[in-house]
Structure 1
Amino acid sequence: MSGGTGGTGDDNGSRGGAGGKSGADAYRSRPPADAPPPADEHPSSEFAVPDGIAPPEAVEEDQPTSEFAVPDGVVEPVQPEQEGSAFATPATYRARSSPTAFTPSDGVPKVVLTKDAPWQDRMRAMLRMPVGERPVPEVVQRHDEETGPAVPRVLDLTLRIGELLLAGGEGAEDVEAAMFAISRSYGLDRCEPTVTFTLLSITYQPSLVDDPVTANRTVRRRGTDYTRLAAVFRLVHDISTPDTEVSLEEAYRRLAEIRRNRHPFPGWALTVAAGLLAGSASVLVGGGFLVFAAAAVSAMLGDRLAWLCAGRGLPEFYQFVAAATAPAAMGVALSLSPLDVRASAVITGGLFALIPGRALVAGVQDGLTGFYITAAARLLEVGYLVVGIVAGVLSVLYLGIGLGAALTPETVLHPVERPEVQLLAAMGLSFCFAILLQQDRDTVLLVTLNGGVAWSVYGALALTAEINPVAATAIAAGLVGLFGQMLSRYQHASALPYITAAIGPLLPGSATYFALLSMARGELNAGLASLSKAAALALAIAIGVNLGGEISRLFLRVPSVAGALPVPAFRRRAAKRTRGF
C-alpha cells in the first residue's frame, strides 16, 4: 500500500513540474528592475518597417520592367503593321540629310546601263550583282497594268528559249543571260535562272512575303543548227530592245516558227561537206590530189555509216566508232596497195572531221566562267566521243599492222610546206565545217575568212618563227575568238557561228593520229606523249577562244556609273563571276 502511495506522489510532482513552476521558482526567475530588456529570438534591421505602419503590398509581375518602359498613364500610339520589302528605302532615310549608316560620304553608286551595250553584257552585269543591288527594271514589253505580267507564261517562254540555246551548243553563261533578259523584259524582276547540262530552272519571287514560283525544263535532245541558234538570238534581242514591241503571243508564234524551220542544207550536202572537209585536212598535212580524193571518199562513207547507226537509234558513241572506222580502213587499204599514197594523211584528214571541237570549246568556256558542273558534263561527253574515235581507229590499225601495212608516223612528221595551197585548204576546211554546222548562208563567208586568218597566224608563228605549236595555236585561237566576238556583237547574234568553224584548221588531228598509231604499234610511251600533246593543243584552242572573247569586251563602252550625290561619274569595277580576289 505504501509503495502505491509513493508512486502516486511522484506522479503528482511530475505533473506539477510539467504544468508550471512553483512560487519560489517563479520568484527566482524574475529579472531585476534595472536589467536590459531581453533580446528577440530573431533580431530586426534598422531598415525594417516600424510597428504600426503597414508596408505596401508588392505586386508580382510576370516580367520585370525596364527604365526605358513607357510610364503609366502615357498611351503609346499604335501603328498599323504594313508589309514591307527588304528592297524598299528605310523610313528614316532622307536624301538631303542622310545618316552615314545608309549612305557613304561619296554617295551610293547607281548603275546606269547604256542601251548601246549588247544585251549579253547588260544581263551578265546584273546577274553577277546581288538581288538587292540590281537596278529597278524598266519594263520593255507591255502587259496588263491591273493584273501584271502573266508569270507562268513568261517563265514557260523563258525556259523554252533557254532550251533551244542550250541544245544548240551555247555556253551556260549566255543561256542564263538570255533567260534573265526575257524575264526582265516582261516585268519579272527578282528572277534567278539556273543552267546545268540537262536541266534548266528559273525561280521568281514577287516579294519577300510571297511564295516563290519555280519552273524547270529538261533538255533531252541536242542538235547542231546554228541557223536556228541565230534566230533565237534575234528573238531575244527584239524582246529586250525597247524599240521593238513583242507581245507574249508574238514571241510564242516566232518561237514556233523557229522550231518548224527546216535546216538550210539537205542531208546530201552535209555528206559532201564532210568529204571535202576531210580532203582539205589531208592537204594541210602534206597530201596530194590522190590523198584528197581518198580522204573525201572515206569521210563520206563514214558519215553514211554514222547516219545509219543514228537511224537505228544507237547512241552517239557507236556512231563515232562507225564513222572512224571508214578513214582508217581506207588508209590501211592504200598502204597495202602498190600505190605511192601517204595513207597516214588520209587517216588524219578523216579524224579532222570527227574531233568534237564545238563541244570542247563550250566545255572549257563553261569551266572558265564558273559553271563547273556543266563544264564537267560537257568535257565528259567529249571524252566519250574521243574514246569512240579511238576505238574505231585502233580496231582497224591493229588489223592493218597484223596484215603488214606500212604505217609509220615518219611519213607525216615532215609535211611539205606549201603556204598558198595550205591556206586555200584551211579556208575550204572552215567553209565545209560551217555547212556541217548548218550555219546561215550570210555567215559562211565571214567564218571562212576567219579560218584563213587563223591558219595564217599559226603558220607564221609555228612554221616560220618556229614558236612552240601549243603557244602558236593559242594565239591563233585567241584571234579567232576576238574577231568572232566582234562580228557577233556587230550583228547582235551568237558568237558560235563565227568561231566554231574557224578553229577547224587548228584541231589536233595529226597529233591524235600519231598517238593512236603509236599505241597500235606497241609504243605506249610515245603514244601517251603524243596524246598529251593533242590534249594540250585542244585546251589551247578552247582557252584562246575564250580569252579572245574576253578581250573583245574591252573595246566596248563600259557602262558608266553615277553617284547618288552630285559627284563626278566613274567607272564601276566588273563584278566577280566566281570566287576570287
Structure 2
Amino acid sequence: MRKQTVVAELDGSEDRKPQTDEARSAFTPPPGVGQPHLLEDDQPTSEFALPEGLSTEPPAEPEGSAFELPGGGPAGGPGSGQGGGPGGSYSSRQLPSTFTPAHGIPMIRLSKEAPWQDRMRTLLRMPAAERPVVETVQRHDGQGPAVPRVLDLTLRIGELLLAGGEGAEDVEAAMFAVSRAYGLDRCEPTVTFTLLSISHQPSLVDDPVTASRTVRRRGTDYTRLAAVYTLIDDITTEDTDVTLEEAYRRLAEIRRNRHPYPGWALTVASGLLAGSASVLVGGGVLVFVAAALGAMLGDRLAWLCAGRGLPEFYQFVVAAMPPAAMGVALTLLSPVIPVEGGTSAVITGGLFALLPGRALVAGVQDGLTGYYITASARLLEVMYFFIAIVTGVLIVLYLGVQLHAELNPDSALSPYQQPWVQMCAAVGMSFAFAILLQQERSTVLMVSLNGGVAWVVYASMHLTGEISPVASTAVAAGLVGLFGQLFSRYQFASALPYITAAIGPLLPGSATYFGLLGFAQNDLDRGLASLSKAVALALAIAVGVNLGGEISRLFLKVPGAGRASSRRAAKRTRGF
C-alpha cells in the first residue's frame, strides 16, 4: 500500500510540474488557445516528425514520366554518379578529384630583369584566366587610364612595327606590353597581315571595347623600328615616367623623322651589294663594275615606277631587267672583251639585290610560331615578288637567246679560292644590305661582321667539307639568328636589324639564275631542279634563323631572369 501511495504522489507531482521548453513541441498552441483534441492513437508530434499526409516512401511514378530513367540507364540513388554526370546526381560526399592541389595554385611571377619581349611572350602563350593581375607601370591619374586613348596608342605602335617588317608574335607582344603598362587588364591583341585589333573588357559584366587599325603602306626603315622599341622599353620600365601625351609626342617625332641615308646613298649601296655578290660567286673587276651599274640602273627605274604609283610587282619586274641586260651585253661582247668569271656572275649579282629575304624570313617565322594566316599572306607576297623577278629576267634572257648570246648553264659559278676575297665580299654585301634597310649607324658594323661569320661557316662546311649546301646554309643561318637574338636581348631592341642584313651572303642567287636560264632555253628539267634548290636554300635560311632565335631563348637566360623568359608553346595536334 505504501508503494502505491508513493507512486500516486509521484504521479500527482509529475502532473503538477510545468512543461519545460525541451518537452514543448513545435506545434504547441500559444497561450490562450486551447489544446486540440487528441485521439487515442495520436502521439505528440516533434519538430522533426513528418506532417500528416506525408510518407517516407517515395511515390510511384506513372508510366511515361518525364523523370523516368531511360532504358538501359544505370540504376542507383543519389550520389551514385560522379559530379552530376550521367547516372546520378551531384553529391558532396562523393566529390571527384579535387581541382585545387593541396599545396595551392602557384602564383605566376615574371622577373622584371627579363626583357619585356620575353615577359610578354610568356603572357601571350597563357590562357586569359591564368594570367597574373596587371601591375600598372605608368600611374598618372587616380581615376584610371583613358581606355580609348591607350588602345589608340597601342594600335599606332603596332602599326609601325608591322609596317617595318616585324613578325606577328613580336607585334602582339609589343601591343600587350603597352596596354598592360598603362593598367589595362584583360586585353587581347590580334595581328594579321594588314589588320591590327585589340579588345579590352573592363570586367565580366561590362561590355568590351574593341579598336582596329589597317596598315596601308609598308616601308623598310630599321632606324624607325629601333626608335619604336626604345619607346616601348621606356613605357614598360618603372624607372621612366612616360605619360600618354608624352608617348604620343614621341611617336609623332618617330613618324616625322627623315631616313638616315639619302636616296643617292641607297642607290650606291644597291650597286655595292650587286658587285660584292658577283665577286662572291667568282667575278672579276669588270664583272663587279657591270653588276654594280646594272643594279643602280634598276634601282633608279624602280624609284621612277614607285613615283608614278605602279604596284611593287611591276617595280620588281623593271628592277630585274637592267642587271640581266648587262649580263647579256657582256656575253655578246665576250669575243672582243674577255670577261673574268663569266657573265653569269653579273646576273647573279643583280638577283642578290632583289631577292626578298626579309619577307621570306618573317613569313616562315610567323608560320613556325603559329600565326598561319599572316604567314600565308607573307609567303604569298614573296611568291609574287619572285614571279616579278622571274618575269623581268626571262624577258631579257629570251631576247639574248634570240640574239644568239652564248648563255651556258653548264658553266657553274666557282668562287675565288682566296678566303680573304670571299670574306671581304661577304662583309661588303652585309654592309650594303644594312644601308638599304636604313639601319642605325651604330649597328652597321656589327651586322656586317655577323654576315662575314655566316659566310665563313657556310664556306667551311660546303666548299671545304663538301657538305650539302642546304645543311650548310641552315647551320650558318642558325648562327646568324643566335647572334642576332643575343645582340637584341642585351640591347632591348628588335632582332631584325642584326639578322636581315647578315643573311645576304646566303641568299640563293645563283640557283635562281640557272633555274631561269633553263626555262629560257626550254630545258624545263634543269630549270625546275635549280629553282627547287633555290626554294630549299631559302627555307633553310628562314628555318635556321628562327631556330637560332629559339635556342637563344631556351638556353641563354638574361642574368636574374630565372624561368621568367620561358614561354609555353602549343601542343601538337596529334592528327586531329
TM-score, length-normalised on structure 2? 0.81
Q: Give the Cα separation in 2 of the matches to 1:206 and 1:378.
A: 34
Show the counterpart of 2:220.
224
Contact preservation (8 Å) 1:478, 1:546: yes
> How has the CA–CA distance of structure 1 residues 108 and 560 changed in structure 2, closer, same or farther, with 3 Å as cutoff?
farther
Q: CA deviation at 1:414?
A: 3.4
Contact preservation (8 Å) 1:369, 1:577: no
Q: CA deviation at 1:576?
A: 1.9
Contact preservation (8 Å) 1:143, 1:186: no
Deviation readout 1:105-133 (Å, 9 max, x if unpaired): 23312111111111010001011111111
Deviation readout 1:287-311 (Å, 9 max, x if unpaired): 0001000000000000001001001
Show the counterpart of 1:209.
205
Q: CA deviation at 1:579?
A: 4.6
1:339 equivalenced with 2:375 (yes/no): no
408-417 vs 295-304, greater mean Cα deviation:
408-417
Contact preservation (8 Å) 1:112, 1:559: no
Contact preservation (8 Å) 1:321, 1:389: yes
Show the counterpart of 1:32.
none
1:127 equivalenced with 2:124 (yes/no): yes
Deviation readout 1:314-358 (Å, 9 max, x if unpaired): 000000000000000000011001212221100000000000000
Q: Give the Cα separation in 2 of the matches to 1:161 and 1:207.
A: 25
> What amino acid does structure 1 have at the position aligned with 2:332?
L
Show the counterpart of 1:330.
326
Show the counterpart of 2:246.
250
For these two proteins, the number of residue pairs brought into alignment is 478
SS at match of 1:194: strand
Q: Give the Cα separation in 2 of the matches to 1:577 and 1:308.
A: 46
Contact preservation (8 Å) 1:112, 1:560: no
Show the counterpart of 2:76.
none
1:237 equivalenced with 2:233 (yes/no): yes
Show the counterpart of 2:521.
521
Q: Give the Cα separation in 2 of the matches to 1:538 and 1:105.
A: 52
Q: CA deviation at 1:521?
A: 0.8
Q: Give the Cα separation in 1 of the matches to 2:177 and 2:368.
A: 22
> What amino acid does structure 2 have at the position aligned with 1:236?
I
Show the counterpart of 1:556.
557
Q: Give the Cα separation in 2 of the matches to 1:488 and 1:559.
A: 16
Show the counterpart of 2:37.
none
335-344 vs 528-537, greater mean Cα deviation:
335-344
Deviation readout 1:76-123 (Å, 9 max, x if unpaired): xxxxxxxxxxxxxxxxxxxxxxx9845302331211111111101000
Show the counterpart of 2:418.
418
> What amino acid does structure 2 have at the position aligned with 1:128?
R
Show the counterpart of 1:566.
none
Could you tell me which runs of 5 or more consecutive residues in structure 1 were left unpaired when the two chains were aligned: 1-55, 65-98, 562-570
Q: Give the Cα separation in 1 of the matches to 2:534 and 2:386.
A: 11
Equivalent in 287, 295, 306 of residue 310 of structure 1: 306
1:172-211 matches, within 5 Å, as: 172-211=168-207
Q: Give the Cα separation in 1 of the matches to 2:169 and 2:462.
A: 33
Show the counterpart of 1:108.
105
1:119-518 matches, within 5 Å, as: 119-145=116-142, 147-337=143-333, 338-341=336-339, 342-518=342-518
> What amino acid does structure 1 have at the position aligned with 2:141?
D
SS at match of 1:410: coil
Show the counterpart of 1:84.
none
> How has the CA–CA distance of structure 1 residues 335 and 572 changed in structure 2, closer, same or farther, with 3 Å as cutoff?
closer
> What amino acid does structure 1 have at the position aligned with 2:557?
L
> How has the CA–CA distance of structure 1 residues 560 and 445 changed in structure 2, closer, same or farther, with 3 Å as cutoff?
closer
Q: Give the Cα separation in 2 of the matches to 1:106 and 1:515.
A: 64
**Aligned-pair Cα RMSD in Å:** 1.9
> What amino acid does structure 1 have at the position aligned with 2:504?
G
Q: Give the Cα separation in 1 of the matches to 2:417 and 2:124.
A: 49
Q: Give the Cα separation in 2 of the matches to 1:237 and 1:195.
A: 20
Q: Give the Cα separation in 2 of the matches to 1:200 and 1:578.
A: 26
> How has the CA–CA distance of structure 1 residues 218 and 573 changed in structure 2, closer, same or farther, with 3 Å as cutoff?
closer
TM-score, length-normalised on structure 1? 0.80
SS at match of 2:107: strand
Q: Give the Cα separation in 2 of the matches to 1:118 and 1:224.
A: 24
Contact preservation (8 Å) 1:111, 1:560: no
Q: Give the Cα separation in 1 of the matches to 2:561 and 2:368.
A: 23
Deviation readout 1:145-190 (Å, 9 max, x if unpaired): 2x21000000000000000000000000000000000000000010
Deviation readout 1:249-298 (Å, 9 max, x if unpaired): 00000000000000000000000000010000000110000100000000
Deviation readout 1:432-477 (Å, 9 max, x if unpaired): 0000000000000000000000000000000011100000000000
Q: Give the Cα separation in 2 of the matches to 1:573 and 1:538.
A: 29
Q: Give the Cα separation in 2 of the matches to 1:572 and 1:540.
A: 26
Q: CA deviation at 1:418?
A: 2.4
Q: Give the Cα separation in 2 of the matches to 1:57 and 1:510.
A: 100
Structure 1 or 2, whichever has the larger Rg, is 1
Show the counterpart of 2:3.
none
Q: Give the Cα separation in 2 of the matches to 1:210 and 1:513.
A: 60
Q: CA deviation at 1:374?
A: 0.2
Q: Give the Cα separation in 2 of the matches to 1:431 and 1:328.
A: 23
Q: Give the Cα separation in 2 of the matches to 1:161 and 1:202.
A: 12
SS at match of 1:345: helix
Contact preservation (8 Å) 1:370, 1:578: no
Show the counterpart of 1:23.
none
Identity in percent: 75
Q: Give the Cα separation in 1 of the matches to 2:315 and 2:53.
A: 92
Q: Give the Cα separation in 2 of the matches to 1:235 and 1:100.
A: 48
Q: CA deviation at 1:580?
A: 4.5
> What amino acid does structure 1 have at the position aligned with 2:308?
R
SS at match of 1:425: helix
Q: Give the Cα separation in 2 of the matches to 1:504 and 1:110.
A: 45
Show the counterpart of 1:6.
none
Q: Give the Cα separation in 1 of the matches to 2:266 and 2:566.
A: 46
Q: Give the Cα separation in 2 of the matches to 1:272 and 1:323.
A: 15
Show the counterpart of 1:533.
533
Deviation readout 1:389-430 (Å, 9 max, x if unpaired): 000000000110111101112333434322110110000000
Q: Give the Cα separation in 2 of the matches to 1:298 and 1:517.
A: 18
